[in-house]
Amino acid sequence: MASSSHNNFEGVDDESFDQYFDEYFDQTFDQTFKDLAITYGHQEKKKRVHIERNREEGDLHLWNDYFSDTPTYPENLFRRRFRMNKPLFMRIVDRLSNEVEFFRQKRDALGRLSLSPLQKSTTAIRVLAYGSAADVVDEYLRLGETTTRLCVEHFVEAIINLFGDEYLRRPTPADLERLLHIGERRGFPGMIGSIDCMHWEWKNCPTAWKGQYSRGSGKPTIVLEAVASYDLWIWHAFFGPPGTLNDINVLDRSHVFDDIIKGQAPQITFTVNGKKYHLAYYLTDGIYPKWATFIQSISIPQGPKAVLFAQHQEAARKDAERAFGVLQARFAIVKNPALFWDKVEIGKIMRACIILHNMIVEDERDGYSLYDVSEFQQGEDTGSSHVNLDFSTYMPTNIANMMGVRTKIRDRQMHQQLKTDLVEHLWNQFGDDGNN
């Protein structure tokens, strides 16, 4: 039998040749398609591997370790690893589980329980406290890397929404009474805290922004401006300016004096060296301008009065730096370089850590504060300072009024007069010829 005109294989019929040609064409086409896909970055889609983490066992393990009636680890280890006492942590978990949908424990279609509020909250606290990667908690708490990130994101948003108004507030009249009382005891009537700035390195800063956030040849950073008091409570936090700005540039952008300019701050009266003043002030370092609301040290003090003033001012001014140090020690995530890409998310983490820091300060203040305020009662005569509790919250619409207050805040002559009176006051209170 003669072979077909299109078949060059001897002894092979038409049907066998067609089958061979189809198989050869299919194999060649598949391999060519795979090569093109790899060349243009399209990998072959793989089926997701399911990992059974047994989250119920992780929840039970966590409960037995820290929250049962007879926990494995004592209270001091709980405080070290959770950065707060157990009652405070349980208060936070209770609010989250009752008011935030993400932290409520539910059942799936098979009736299996989801991750517990304790697992999710502990995950977020561990990441914030240790500054670790998202998958570090997987082996102990039994949840994946993506779920860990979700826990951190929802946790910081919930902390801001539930506790921000109470624990990141401006000082109330009662707070001002207490701060002024402590300021007088330290030799600074009218002082309500110290102000300073710190930098948080941004490791994953976008390349296009590095020139804006890097100073010289250093790493890109984001600036936090804060006001802290004697007990390390942070009353004011302004976060977000690029690291190329110094403290003065950050001050020009911040809202630290907005309430005073808008007429929403309580009226304060205090006496220094026999003279009355009506603007509270912060202790600062030398870079800040000579305003009526800032008191710096004396760089080269001449005479015993100036030396004594410099010693007390520089000691009291460290409140802000101490607060930064404690904040970074409690939450290593704000000490280590920031790994997030989104600046908004970084800002939420910083804000949530400050709120948690203030909650811990309120819970533990009596254990480490050098000043006993247990006998201090609102409304009592605590010295030469006074806060008008019936202050007006009216916002002046006249721009001239607002500019007048702004000019008063920046009054250099009043600054110099207040500083001179403080030097005399400190000498009378703590000097060799004083009563103490």
Report DSSP state, residue 272.
E
Number of C-beta neighbours around residue 395 at 10 A: 12
Residue 10 covered by a domain: no
Residue 24 covered by a domain: no
CA–CA distance, 385 with 390 (Å, rounded to integer): 16
Residue 108 Ramachandran class (φ > 0 left, ψ -120 to 50 alpha, else beta): beta
Structure tokens at 151: 């826990």
Question: Residues 259, 265, 269, 271: is their CA dihedral positive or negative?
Answer: negative
Number of C-beta neighbours around residue 198 at 10 A: 20
Query: What is the reported pLDDT for 208?
Result: 92
Give 3-state DSSP helix, strand, coil % of the chain, rounded to 5: 50, 10, 35
Distances (CA, A) of 135 to 141, 157, 399, 436: 10, 21, 54, 58
Tens-of-pLDDT digits for all 436 residues of the chain?
A: 444 444 455 555 555 655 655 666 566 666 665 665 655 555 555 666 778 778 888 899 999 999 999 999 999 999 999 999 999 999 999 999 999 999 998 888 888 888 999 999 999 999 999 998 888 888 888 888 899 999 999 999 999 999 999 999 988 888 898 999 999 999 999 999 999 999 999 999 999 999 999 988 789 999 999 999 999 999 999 999 999 999 999 999 999 988 888 777 778 889 999 899 989 999 999 899 999 999 999 988 999 999 999 999 999 999 999 999 999 999 999 999 998 888 999 999 999 999 999 999 999 987 766 666 655 544 444 456 666 544 444 555 567 777 888 888 999 999 999 999 999 999 998 886 544 4
Residue 39 covered by a domain: no
Asked if residue 195 and residue 154 are part of one domain, the reply reads no
State which of 113, 141, 166 marks the end of a domain.
Answer: 166
Domain count, the chain: 2
Domain that holds residue 349: 173-430
Query: What is the reported pLDDT for 379?
Result: 42
Asked if residue 307 and residue 271 are part of one domain, the reply reads yes
Query: What is the reported pLDDT for 435?
Result: 45
Give pTM, 2 decimals. 0.83
* 304: amino acid identity, one letter: P
